[in-house]
Amino acid sequence: MKEITRRLYTKPVMLGMAFLVGIALVAALFVTTKSKAAVSIYIQAGNDQFETTGNGETYHNFQASPVPAGFFGTGSQKYAGLVPLVGVPLQPLVNDIDTVIHRNQDVLTPGSTTITMTALNLKGINPITVTYDDSHTESWTVKVNLSEPQ
C-alpha cells in the first residue's frame, strides 16, 4: 500500500515541476526577446553599396507623371508606361555595384541620419516604344543616373 501511494504522489509532483520549468523557459524567452529589441546598434557614417537585379522589382512608373509630348522629338506623344530597371555596374571589372548611398553622420539605432546618393547607374531592361502623331513608333533605351551638380 505504501508503494502505490508513493507512485500516485510522485507523478503529480513531477508534472507540476515540469510545468514550472516550462513556465520559466517561456518567461526567459520573453525577457531575452524583449531585451534584444532594446539594444542599440552603432552604424558609422559611410557608404552603402547596392546591386540592382533585373527581376522587375525595380522600376519607374510614368503613369502618375508622364514624359510630356514632344520630349522625344516633334510629334512624339506623351509616354506613361512602366519601365523595369536593372543595374549597370559602376566598375564592371571590379564588382556589380550600381548604386551608392552615403550616410552623412554616424547613427545609433533606432535613429535617423541624412543620406546623399553619390552614384546611380541603371538602365531599362527593355527599350520603350514611343509613338508619334503620324502613328510611327521608335524604340528608346532608358538610362537612369545622377545629373551633374550645377
Please list, in sequence order, all residues whose beta carbon lies within 8 angstroms of the beta carbon of residue 117, skipping any fewer than 6 positions away.
99, 100, 101, 102, 146
CB 89 within 8 A of CB 130: no
Highest-confidence segment of 16-20, 21-25, 39-43, 90-94: 90-94
* Domain ranges, ordered by start, for the chain: 1-39, 42-145
DSSP state of 132: B
pLDDT digits (tens, 9 = 90+) for 4-38: 444 444 455 555 555 665 666 666 666 555 555 56
- The 10s digit of each residue's pLDDT in 100-127 is 999 999 999 888 999 999 999 999 999 9
What's the rounded mean pLDDT across residues 35-53? Answer: 86
Kindly report the number of other CB atoms within 10 A of residue 123's CB atom: 19
